[in-house]
Amino acid sequence: MKVLVIGGGGREHALCWKLKRSASVGEVVCAPGNPGIAADARCVPVGAEDIKGLMALATTEKPDLVVVGPEVPLVAGLGNRLREEGFAVFGPDKAAANLEGSKSFSKRLMYEAGVPTARFEVHVDVKEAIETIRSWGAPIVIKASGLAAGKGVIVAQTEKEAIDAVRGMLAGNSFGDAGSQVVIEEFLSGEEASCLFIVSGDTILPLASSQDHKALLDGDLGPNTGGMGAYSPAPCVTEIVAEQVLETIARPIIAALKKKGAEFIGTLYAGVMLTDEGPKALEFNVRFGDPECQPLMSRLKSDLGEVLLAAAEKRLDDVTLSWADGSALCVVVASDGYPGLFEKGQMIGGLDAVEAAGTTVFHAGTAEKDGAIVNAGGRVLGVTAVAASVRQAQRTVYDALAALDWPGGFYRKDIGYRAIVREER
Ligand SMILES: Nc1ncnc2c1ncn2[C@@H]1O[C@H](COP(=O)(O)OP(=O)(O)OP(=O)(O)O)[C@@H](O)[C@H]1O
Ligand SMILES: [Mg+2]
């Protein structure tokens, strides 16, 4: 079959890479793709947020399956439009995508569904928000309700920090429309994990567990980013925990959406905190995590094309997934300055040598200039290895990265440390 993948980041590279290696898939087309994806798919220069352009592309290409990678087109209703035209689509409709598109909607639905999650309030008024902050005290979590590319959450250690954040969102314009409503949450402590599910109507198929590192700096310090590295499986997600997340978080939220008339077809990503009281939902996303997708696809042994088509066609019941033993780990290489401002257009060398050392290099923010690969975004590469243990996968990636020739890039040196501590205990 022919598959059209929407997006052009590291997640979409991992999806295209795996689809190309699926027996059921004959051709992969990607819009817009990137220079790394071009090795696995035919890239077409239509932006992932250009709904009109994507509809026109689907009409010309006539794919047997469309896989929507990022959240923005899903929240904008690309799934609805494609389904109306009769395409098989992996990715939820707008109403279900709201689970990610609006944190206030999502939290309210969690409460209705009885999903364990942090206490919260939704505010549009600065004064009332500040009253809540003063009465709950710090630490406290402030979230822009709308989409903010992974940057709209402030885990405030002091009341002042929290107040500055709500002022920035509600009175200022720090996240534009996305910050016109804020969600204030009780701070939860524990270890975090990403639990992903392929969902098709009532059928919910768990993927292998994974964990990402959102913080910029070693030791999980510094500001949050889109994600600086990830690995799978996550040793803290035991079989019991996985079962709890499925039964108390994933099933009830999908059922609650259905009750509202929104059927879910796509990837449900539950960000969970493993607290002393059991797993609690931090948030939902409606697509694969980036970078979690890179280690997950590296470990998946099943035919991805078949799985996603079965979900799109609502026959997921018969599908089971199989995974490579051992662990996969991905280290993100970012542009110096990210998540703030950074310079683009720097030459990146040594990529072949990095791969020759036993890794797969997934491209995210890269471009091609005069035949060379240059940086074009904040997060640029996801260097991934599969090995018998997290420790070994980590070693392979970091050893390979010694061959990377890009002085303007940086990466964390400790991706996977929590898992390694558990592994070696
Ligand atoms: N209630 C909470 N208590 C403690 N930490 C939290 C809480 N809510 C969020 N966080 C921290 O902030 C991070 C980002 O929060 P959240 O997942 O809601 O944001 P997001 O921007 O939607 O993330 P993503 O880019 O993964 O979609 C979480 O991964 C977690 O580390
Ligand atoms: Mg999110």
Q: Is residue 103 part of a domain?
A: no
202 and 313, same structural domain? yes
201 and 301, same structural domain? yes
Residue 7 phi, psi dihedral angles, 5° rounding: 130, 175
305 and 231, same structural domain? yes
In this structure, what CATH number is given to the domain that contains residue 72? 3.40.50.20
Which of 267, 299, 318 is the endpoint of a domain? 318
Q: Is residue 61 part of a domain?
A: yes
**Distance (Å, rounded) from C-alpha 230 to C-alpha 385?**
11
Q: Is residue 59 part of a domain?
A: yes
| C-alpha of residue 282 to centroid of ligand 1, in Å | 6
In this structure, what CATH number is given to the domain that contains residue 275? 3.30.470.20
Best mutation site among 106, 107, 141 for ligand 1 pocket (most ligand atoms within 8 Å of CB): 141
CB of 348 closer than 8 Å to CB of 375: yes
pLDDT bin (cut points 50, 70, 90) of residue 202 is: very high
Say which ligand is closest to the CA of 178.
1
Q: How confident is the model at residue 71, as a pLDDT?
A: 97
Q: Write down the pTM of the prediction.
A: 0.96
| C-alpha of residue 60 to centroid of ligand 2, in Å | 33
Q: Give SS3 for 242.
A: helix
Best mutation site among 115, 155, 175, 272 for ligand 1 pocket (most ligand atoms within 8 Å of CB): 155
Q: What is the pLDDT of residues 115-144, one digit of tens each?
A: 999 999 999 999 999 999 999 999 999 999
213 and 155, same structural domain? no
Q: Is residue 109 part of a domain?
A: no
374 and 342, same structural domain? yes
**Distance (Å, rounded) from C-alpha 374 to C-alpha 377?**
9
**How many CA atoms, within 13 angstroms, populate the side-chain half-sphere of residue 235?**
16
Q: How far is CA 229 from CA 171, 380, 422, in A?
A: 34, 12, 18
How many domains are contained in the chain?
4
Q: How confident is the model at residue 104, as a pLDDT?
A: 96
In this structure, what CATH number is given to the domain that contains residue 357? 3.90.600.10
344 and 305, same structural domain? no
Q: How far is CA 223 from CA 152, 214, 309, in A?
A: 11, 8, 38
**pLDDT average, residue stretch 307-336:** 97
313 and 255, same structural domain? yes
Best mutation site among 153, 196, 284 for ligand 1 pocket (most ligand atoms within 8 Å of CB): 153
Q: How confident is the model at residue 34, as a pLDDT?
A: 98
Which residue range is the domain that position 294 belongs to? 190-318
Q: What is the pLDDT of residues 267-317, one digit of tens each?
A: 999 999 999 999 999 999 999 999 999 999 999 999 999 999 999 999 999
Which of 258, 285, 318 is the endpoint of a domain? 318
Say which ligand is closest to the CA of 136.
1
279 and 384, same structural domain? no
pLDDT bin (cut points 50, 70, 90) of residue 180 is: confident
310 and 260, same structural domain? yes
**214 touches ligand 1 (CB under 6 Å):** yes
Residue 150 has pLDDT above 80, yes or no: no
Which of 318, 339, 357 is the endpoint of a domain? 318
Note the helical H segments in 245-331.
251-259, 293-299, 304-312
75 and 152, same structural domain? no
Peptide bond into 116 cis (omega under 30): no
**71 touches ligand 1 (CB under 6 Å):** no
Residue 177 has pLDDT above 90, yes or no: no
Q: How confident is the model at residue 31, as a pLDDT?
A: 98
Could you tell me what percent of the chain has a pLDDT over 90? 92
Q: Is residue 102 part of a domain?
A: no
**pLDDT average, residue stretch 155-159:** 94
- Nearest alpha carbon to residue 28 among 52, 62, 1, 48: 1
Q: Is residue 154 part of a domain?
A: yes
Q: What is the DSSP letter of 300?
A: B
Q: How confident is the model at residue 219, as a pLDDT?
A: 96
Q: Is residue 31 part of a domain?
A: yes
**pLDDT average, residue stretch 147-167:** 91
**141 touches ligand 1 (CB under 6 Å):** yes
| C-alpha of residue 350 to centroid of ligand 2, in Å | 33
195 and 314, same structural domain? yes
277 and 395, same structural domain? no
Q: Is residue 116 part of a domain?
A: no
